[in-house]
Amino acid sequence: QVQLVESGGGLAQAGDSLRLSCAASGRPFSSYAVGWFRQAPGKEREFVAQINRSGGITSYADSVKGRFTISRDNAKNTVYLQMNSLKPGDTAVYYCAAGEYYGTYRYWGQGTQVTVSS
């Protein structure tokens, strides 16, 4: 299996940028599609973005299209979420998750907090 650790969260102001990282260990990361999800206080966990194993296919939630970019560097066993033009509504715990196939997610990290103030 694969173990995932998120990092890069923190406090930002509206309009700022943050880059989240999802570092993997265990099975080679190239074996997994990866998704980013987030959960705000009192809300259900929601999909943010995903990327296939090779990095050639991505998809995004409508709420983040044009602002967030998911990418991966399999040589570094890392997936990134570049978040630009942050809004207070982006405040949440962000999780990365991996699965053997695009759109399937079995393995989850512990999350990293992103807080965006107005």
List pLDDT tens digits, range 55-98: 999 999 999 999 999 999 999 999 999 999 999 999 999 999 99
Q: Which residues have a Cβ under 8 Å from the Cβ of 65 and sit 6 or more positions away?
A: none
**Strand arrangement, sheet containing 2-7:** 2-7, 18-26, 78-83, 68-73
pLDDT tens-digit map of 11-60: 999 999 999 999 999 888 888 999 999 999 999 999 999 999 999 999 99
Identify residue 66 by its one-letter amino acid code. Answer: G
Contacts of the segment 55-59: beta carbons below 8 A, 24+ positions apart? 57/102
| CB-CB contact of 6 with 110 (8 Å) | yes
